[in-house]
Every structure is written in structure tokens, then in C-alpha cells.
Amino acid sequence: MENDSLVSIITPMYKGEAFVGETIESVLRQTYADWEMIIVDDCSPDGGAGIRVVRQYADPRIRLIESKVNKGSSGARNIALREARGRYIAFLDSDDTWFPTYLEKQVQYMRDNNYPLVFSSRRRIQEVGDDEMYKPFIVPKQITYRELLKYCPIFISTTIYDRERCGLFFFNEALGSLRDDWVYWLSILKKIKVAYGNEEILGNYRIRGNSATSNKRKVMISQWKVLRNVEQLNLWEAFYCFVCWLFFGLRKYRKVASKA
């Protein structure tokens, strides 16, 4: 390992002009300074607008990779993962943001408890601005592989793992941008058995209307295919996990009360 305290931040970008600046700024404000940020532009059809925003930042810890082929979020993350030099692997999508103490608290939480993978609670904000769209998502204290089959509280942009403990995992590019992160955590939990939640709210998830997960029918079909084809559950197990996932989904999207 080149650096035992370095955090490699993996950021895929696709048409990122509108929000990637805010994402980078949230990294630059971190109280934990030992990081590298690897941003992969996934052959965005935006005339280089997102790339120009990234290039405005001269910090040598920020690296930009321009993919000449559109690979989806899985492929873009894999490109960055192959370049990562840090012991710790963190993910931050190009429209999400961290609180200033995110890295410091997450790394300390891992070290103090000897945890291999940690994920934190997060705010869920509207596409434009910083207002909350739903109540904050508070994570459980831990989750196992079997529990993860039924619901996924692990969010890509508020998760860090120790590659020395877990190994370095790559995304299943055949899944495209649907359920790929869930399958990623399932793969890791087959090895480490338990992931640990930090209940403190440390990041913002921006809910966008045109995101891959906004098409609920496609998400449901992908969820079922993962259970049956990727994890190879029998029909009854898959059905049970699918129903649990539906029930959890209904519960987690509670609107924030309207302001007077």
C-alpha cells in the first residue's frame, strides 16, 4: 500500500456541469486532508462542460480521467478503482456532497472499532438547492449479507471500506447503472460478513428526476434479476426478499413536513 492513511475518492461523472463543482468543494472542505479524488468523465455528451468545471480546480490531489467510451457508472468507477492508491476506498457521486468532517469521522470510526466497511446516515435533498425532500435516512448499526438481500441501507456516497481488510472489489459492468452498487456491497459482505453503520448524518444525497433509479419499473425488474440471476436465490427466497424490499421502500420515503 502506497499510503496507509490515504483515502481514494471514486467519482464517476456524466453530464456533471451543474453539480460537480459543489461536490469538489465539499471534498476540499474536508478536515481530513490525506485524500486523492479520481473523477472519471464517462464520455459525457455535453461538449466538455463538466470537464471544464473540474479543470478549474488546481489542487494536485484531484485527478481527472476522460473516458473515450461510455461505460455507465459501474465502468467509470472501475476505471477510477484501477488508479486508486489509497488504503481506504470512498465513493462520492458527482451530484452528492459531504459534510466537512465526513472523512475524519468515518476513518476514525473504522479505526476505533476495527471495522472493515462503514456507511453513514445522510440527508436527502432536492435537485436544486439544499432543502430536504425526505426525512434524513438514519442507518442501522450493522447489516449482514442475508439482511442486505432484503433491503439496502448502504448508500454509495456515504460508504468507505478498508482495502487492506476487504481486498479491492470491482463493479459488475454487465448491470449498467441499475442495482450495481447493491451487488457491489453484496459481493463484499460475502467476504467480510458484516458492514457497520455510523448513525451520524454526514452527507447529502441529491435526488434527481432523471436519475437511473427514477424509473421504478426498471428498478423493480433489476432488483428481481439480481435476486434470481446474480445471487441465485430460489423462487421462494427471491420472492420473500423482493417483498421485504418493496415494504422497506415504502417506509423510507417519508416526506419532510412543508414549511409554513
Q: pTM here?
A: 0.93
Residue at 259 is within a domain: no
CATH number at residue 11: 3.90.550.10
- Is 50 exceeded by the pLDDT of residue 145? yes
pLDDT tens sequence across 103-133? 999 999 999 999 999 999 999 999 988 889 8
For range 220-240, the mean pLDDT: 95
Beta carbons within 8 Å of 72's beta carbon, 6+ residues apart: 42, 173, 176, 177, 180
Q: Residue 210: what pLDDT?
A: 60
Assign 177 to helix, strand or coil.
Answer: coil
What band does 102 get if pLDDT is binned at 50, 70 and 90? very high
Domain around 99: 3-252
**Looking at the domain assignment, is residue 94 inside a domain?**
yes
Residue 24 — pLDDT band, cuts 50, 70, 90? very high
Q: Answer whether residue 193 is part of any domain.
A: yes
Tell me the pLDDT tens digit for each residue of 179-204.
899 999 999 999 999 999 999 999 99
Q: What's the mean pLDDT when you consider all of the chain?
A: 92
Q: Answer whether residue 260 is part of any domain.
A: no
For residue 17, being part of any structural domain is answered with yes
Q: Does residue 258 belong to any structural domain of this protein?
A: no
| Per-residue buried b or exposed e for 99-120, using 16+ beta carbons within 10 Å of the residue's own CB | beebbebbbebbeeeebbbbbb
Residue 162 C-alpha cell reads as 478498508
Q: Give yes or no for residue 211 having a pLDDT over 70.
A: no
Q: Is 257 among the domain residues? A: no
150 occurs within a structural domain: yes
Q: What is the mean pLDDT of residues 154-183?
A: 93
What's the domain count of the chain?
A: 1
Give 132: exposed, middle or buried? Use CB within 10 Å, 0-12, 13-18, 19+: middle
